[in-house]
Homo-oligomer: A and B are copies of this chain.
Amino acid sequence: MNILAFAGGVGGAKLALGLARALDPNRLAIAVNTGDDFEHLGLNISPDLDTVMYTLAGLANPETGWGLAGETWNFLDAASRLGGEAWFRLGDRDLATHIERTRRLRGGESLSEITRAFCAHLGVTAEVIPMSDDPVRTIICADEGALPFQEYFVHRKCEPRVRDFEFAGIALARPLPRLLERLAEADALIYCPSNPYVSVAPIVGLPGLRLLIESRRAAGMPVVAVSPIVGGAALKGPAAKMMIELGLDSTVIALAKHYAGTIDGLVIDSVDADSAPRIESLGIKTMATDTVMKTDDDKTRLARETLNFARSLKSRLTE
C-alpha cells in the first residue's frame, strides 16, 4: 500500500514512526503542518517538521517527544545572561537545524528542498513533505485578541481561551507538488493523531486540496483519522481544551462530528469503544484499539492496525 499521512507535532510523529516501521519506506510520505512555523531570534523555525524528522531519525527526546535526545541548553543560558528572550526552548543541537535552515532559505532554497537534504543527512528514508513552500501562519483568535501560534502555544502555555483559528497566507499557499503526487498514488490517506484544528486543518485547507482528496475518495481511497482524543482528554496539547472553549464536548463523538463527511474511518481508543455506534451513525466506520503510544512497538502496532483498517475500508469503497 502507498500511504500518505498528514501530521502535526508529537502525536503525529509517533504514528509516522510506526508507519515507517510497518511499511516499506518508499511507500510512505508524511505531509507536515507548517502553520506552526515562525521566525524567532531571526531564525526560521518549523517545529512540526523538526519533530517528525527527529522522530523518524530516531533522534527525538523520548521524554518530551519534541527536541533532540541528549540535548544541552547552554545557548539559552547564555542568551538569558545577555538579556535575550528564552521562552522558546532552543537546545544547542536543535539550533543547528534552525541556523542551517535559515541560511539555506536566505540562499534561495525552498523549505522542501532543505527538508529533503536534512532527511538525507539524518538517514530518514520515508518522504517528509512540508505541506507548502509558501508561508502559512496559524493565528489563534483568543478572547484577548489574535495570537501567533507559538505565542499562544509556548509563550502563553495555551492559557488564552480560543474562539477561532485563522491561517494567514493560506489562500496564496500552493500545496507542495510532491504532496499532490503522493496523494494521487496513495491507497489511503491517514490523519495522524494530531490536533484537528491547528495541525490537520491547515493542511487540508490548502487551496484545492480538499477537492483533490474528495476526488481520490470517490476513486476508492479511504481517509482514516486516528483520534488524538482519548477518554475525553487530549493525549498531548490543547485539543480537548480548545473543543471545550469552542462550545463542544471534548469527546471522540465531537471529533467525529468535526470530521464527518470528510473521513471514512476513525480509529478510537478502546476506552471510547461505546461511542462507536454514535460515530458510525455519522457515516464513519470505527476501529477501537489501544491508541496510547508509549513504546516504539506501540507505534508499530497501532500503525499496522490502522493500515489494516484502511485496507478493509478501501476494499469496501472499491467493491
- Using a CB–CB cutoff of 8 Å, the interface residues on chain A facing chain B are 41-43, 68, 71-72, 74-79, 81-84, 91-97, 99-100, 102-103, 106, 117-118, 121-122
Contacts and interface: CB of A to CB of B under 8 A. Distances in A.
A74 B72 contact: yes
B122 A81 contact: yes
B106 A78 contact: no
Contact of A97 (B41, B42, B76, B78): B78
Given A92-B72, A95-B95, A82 B42 contact: no
Number of copies: 2
Given A43-B99, A74-B92, A81-B121, 19 more contacts: A41-B100, A41-B103, A42-B42, A42-B103, A42-B106, A72-B72, A74-B74, A74-B93, A75-B93, A75-B96, A77-B96, A78-B94, A78-B95, A79-B100, A82-B100, A82-B117, A83-B117, A92-B95, A95-B95
A96 B118 contact: no
Contacts of A122: 81-82
Contact of A99 (B71, B74, B84, B121): B84
Contacts of A74: 71-72, 74, 91-93
A92 B106 contact: no
5 contacts: A42-B42, A42-B106, A78-B95, A78-B96, A82-B118
A106 B95 CA distance: 19
Contacts of A121: 81-83
A75 B102 contact: no
Nearest to A107: B42
Given A72-B74, A74-B72, A75-B75, A82 B96 contact: yes
Contact of A93 (B78, B93, B118): B78
Contact of A75 (B43, B95, B118): B95
User: Which of A81, A91, A96 gathers most chain B CB within 10 Å?
Assistant: A96
A76 to B, nearest CB: 8
Nearest to A105: B42
User: Which of A68, A75, A97 gathers most chain B CB within 10 Å?
Assistant: A75
4 smallest beta-carbon distances between A and B, as pairs: A78-B96, A78-B93, A79-B96, A92-B92
Nearest to A70: B74
B41 A99 contact: yes
Nearest to A99: B41
User: Which of A43, A68, A93, A122 gathers most chain B CB within 10 Å?
Assistant: A93
A71 B41 CA distance: 21
A1 to B, nearest CB: 31
